[in-house]
Structure 1
Amino acid sequence: MAIIPFNKPYISGNEFKYISESVESGKISGDGIFTKKCHTFFEETYEFKKVLLTTSCTDALEMAAILIDIKPGDEVIMPSYTFVSTANAFALRGAKIVFADSRKDHPGMDENSLEALITSKTKAIVPVHYAGVACDMDIIMDIADRHNLFVVEDAAQAIDSYYKGKPLGGIGHLAAFSFHETKNIISGEGGMLVINDESFAKRAEIIREKGTNRSSFFRGEVDKYGWVDLGSSFLPSDMIAAFLYSQLENLQKIQSTRKKIWDKYDASFRGVLDKNKGVRLPVIPDFATNNAHMYYLTCASPEERNTLLSHLKGKGILAVFHYLSLHKSRFFEGKYNGLNLTETDKYTDCLVRLPLFFELDLNKQKYIIDSIHEFYS
């Protein structure tokens, strides 16, 4: 039986040509010709004030934690239903992680629960735009403004997605994107820091260059460079940027195809599974757009979820569950003393992600849909 994978990386056309051009340029380390092309694309397409490619979204988040000067004892609020990198970046700086519950209608953080989590030690809020669907950023930014907090958007899944007409990643003080092979636009591994508060721009370059003012030296702004701040090696090779730039050239084609796949799933299930079988389908709030990063079902129970996964596996279909609640993780055992996060636990126990990738053809998608309907019949 043919296996339908959960994900298949898409090669858009010029990846290897551009990698060859990068090699032939004689500069394949960071900040070469294709890194600059990628920076220009994001700054012009989404009007981000400044962007810096990184080796991963994790690195971008770690840079953000350094930039906002996280120190031991500072508190950072974020959802428990997220990838471990969201928490790790701030925990590495000594922060106390304060977890918020998910919304009832969506795995993203419950914005209305945030105010009660703030203390005199709170330093930042880290909203995660789960599945590329925006958190309610007006609520979050209002809370941050009133309490003098930083907002770092975890936009790992949110490329080409919007909140009330504003691109995600362009609203908080800082933001982090991922180009991991499971994302809409990929470079294998890779990420990007977005700097919306220009007061962070110069220091961000220094942190990304191992704590040196090397970027200023190359621009001729100083006659020598040295160690001036904390930092690490967060720059990706220009070959990674070359791969990424080919993907960016095909952004609209990739997005259009993914949205057709997402819409077909939704049209096949809406009004059937959610009305008759008690399955919760994705919700896109009025303030958000859908970038078709993922399609998921939320089953009625953990037993139903596990049986569905087994059923699909028996059909040669690789569907997967997603995050495990971070507040119940082995690392956090004994550290969490907050409220019960009932919605977070619901998604941990019951959510199923379906295959969604550029080359998922109609016949294979129909087979997946029919297999799910067969299970629920």
Structure 2
Amino acid sequence: MIPFNKPYLSGNETKYIEQAVNSGKISGNGMFTQKCQHFFEQKYSFKKCLLTTSCTDALEMAAILANIKEGDEVIVPSFTFVSTAIAFVRQGAKIVFADSYSNNPNIDVEKIEALITPKTRAIVPVHYAGVACDMDKIMQLAEKYNLIVIEDAAQAIDSFYKGKPLGSIGHMAAFSFHETKNIIAGEGGMISINDDKFIPRAEIIWEKGTNRAEFFRGEVNKYGWVDIGSSFLPSEVIAAFLWAQIENLDKIQEKRLQHWDYYYNNLNHWATKNGIQIMKIPDYATNNGHMFYLVCDSLIQRTALINDLKENNILAVFHYISLHSSPYYESKHDGRDLLNSDSFTNKLLRLPMYYELDVEFIVNKIITFGN
């Protein structure tokens, strides 16, 4: 069976983990943590980066930093992973779900302003498949209504909007290094902070509500409990694994983009013939090779294609179920129909994507479908 995902290993992951263990410092915020954070700050011009144990943790940190509280409203796309919403639900917020575009799973920015009320505190755009949302329009709305923008960039490492790295545009952003992402740490994540006013508090929240980091830098003569927070920082074992991946980022990206281009160039004719849409990249966005998806013409067609590929030992999968219709939040949703989100729920199909992929074999099997 060709899996949907297979983690890439550079060969240095265990070497660096052993180095971290032998250093006698395997708790968080050691040498490898700082190397990783410095890399992202330098390469993508994020003002401050802090590694976390997951992207969910990074989103939860962002919700705390944004001072989201009971009764606040946060605008989130319905077609996303549950972490995008739950980080703010845990702070007591009401989630106001937005629909996707008809031809793109990203949040439809033209529908956001109508959702803003005096209780709205934040907008959380999700860069689905690593493809940028229309960030200029989102940031204009944020400025107009004094809102905080938190980019869910879980899938968006090394992707850009009009030349700006995703995760560098909003006030804050959250990234994932889960094993399904381009560079990985098994689990793992990162918050990037681009507004100076959030940086001092971020480090405190990251360190369980203490000013421990300031103490170890010699900026205070003792440390104590000064704010809320949690144990968000990962161990050096996770950071050491991630550093081995970071060293190979360009190599990984080059290969994934080759696979993406092969899918795109060789499935166009077949897709048109079968009434299937293939993934497109807007002019303002770049492609980071995170994912290649198809949008079938119906749930029936998608199910048939999944089954056909499985019979050929290829695992293709669907993705999110609209959060507004989820068992937990359905009764809390305001009742609006989000037709595009539901359409992607029923029709979107993700094809295998990983470094060692035999993409030619998969394409050859796909184009036999419907013939």
Question: 2:330 corresponds to which letter in structure 1?
Answer: E
**Alignment equivalent of 2:367, drawn from 352, 368, 373:** 373
Runs of 4+ in 1 over 4 A off after TM superposition: none
**Alignment equivalent of 1:360, drawn from 357, 361, 371:** 357
The 3-state SS of whatever aligns with 1:335 is: coil
Question: 1:335 corresponds to which letter in structure 2?
Answer: K
Looking at structure 1, the residues matched to 278 and 353 of structure 2 have their Cα atoms a distance apart, in angstroms, of 15
Question: 1:372 corresponds to which letter in structure 2?
Answer: I
**Alignment equivalent of 2:202, drawn from 191, 201, 204:** 204
Cα shift at 1:12: 1.2
Cα shift at 1:239: 1.1
Question: 2:76 corresponds to which letter in structure 1?
Answer: M
For 1:304, the equivalent position in structure 2 comes to: 301
Question: 1:293 corresponds to which letter in structure 2?
Answer: H
The 3-state SS of whatever aligns with 2:10 is: coil
Cα shift at 1:270: 1.3
Q: Is residue 324 from structure 1 mapped to residue 321 from structure 2 by the alignment? A: yes
For 1:287, the equivalent position in structure 2 comes to: 284
Looking at structure 1, the residues matched to 269 and 137 of structure 2 have their Cα atoms a distance apart, in angstroms, of 31
Cα shift at 1:367: 2.3
**Alignment equivalent of 1:88, drawn from 78, 86, 92:** 86
Question: 2:298 corresponds to which letter in structure 1?
Answer: S
Looking at structure 1, the residues matched to 269 and 317 of structure 2 have their Cα atoms a distance apart, in angstroms, of 23
Map 1:234-313; keep pairs closer than 5 Å: 234-273=232-271, 275-313=272-310
For 1:40, the equivalent position in structure 2 comes to: 38
Question: Could you state the TM-score of these two structures normalised by the residue count of structure 2?
Answer: 0.99
Cα shift at 1:269: 0.9
The 3-state SS of whatever aligns with 1:374 is: coil
Question: 1:116 corresponds to which letter in structure 2?
Answer: A
Map 1:1-377; keep pairs closer than 5 Å: 3-273=1-271, 275-361=272-358, 365-377=359-371
Cα shift at 1:338: 3.9
Question: 1:14 corresponds to which letter in structure 2?
Answer: N
Question: 1:70 corresponds to which letter in structure 2?
Answer: I
Cα shift at 1:252: 0.4
**1:41-84 CA deviation, whole Å, 9 max, x = no partner?**
00111111110000000000000000010001100001000000
The 1:236/1:157 distance shift into structure 2, 3 A limit, reads same
Looking at structure 1, the residues matched to 40 and 32 of structure 2 have their Cα atoms a distance apart, in angstroms, of 13
**1:4-27 CA deviation, whole Å, 9 max, x = no partner?**
000001101211111111111110
**1:97-147 CA deviation, whole Å, 9 max, x = no partner?**
001100112101101110000001000000000000000000000000000
Question: 1:325 corresponds to which letter in structure 2?
Answer: S
Q: In the alignment, is the contact (CA less than 8 A) between 2:183 and 2:249 conserved in 1?
A: yes
Looking at structure 1, the residues matched to 220 and 142 of structure 2 have their Cα atoms a distance apart, in angstroms, of 36
Question: Could you state the TM-score of these two structures normalised by the residue count of structure 1?
Answer: 0.97
Cα shift at 1:313: 1.0
Question: 1:145 corresponds to which letter in structure 2?
Answer: E
Looking at structure 1, the residues matched to 88 and 333 of structure 2 have their Cα atoms a distance apart, in angstroms, of 16
Question: 1:223 corresponds to which letter in structure 2?
Answer: N
Please list every run of 5 or more consecutive structure 1 residues that lacks an aligned counterpart in the other structure.
none
Q: In the alignment, is the contact (CA less than 8 A) between 2:270 and 2:367 conserved in 1?
A: no
Question: 2:331 corresponds to which letter in structure 1?
Answer: G
Question: 2:62 corresponds to which letter in structure 1?
Answer: A
The 3-state SS of whatever aligns with 1:41 is: helix
Please list every run of 5 or more consecutive structure 2 residues that lacks an aligned counterpart in the other structure.
none
Question: Percent identity at matched positions?
Answer: 64
Looking at structure 1, the residues matched to 189 and 229 of structure 2 have their Cα atoms a distance apart, in angstroms, of 17
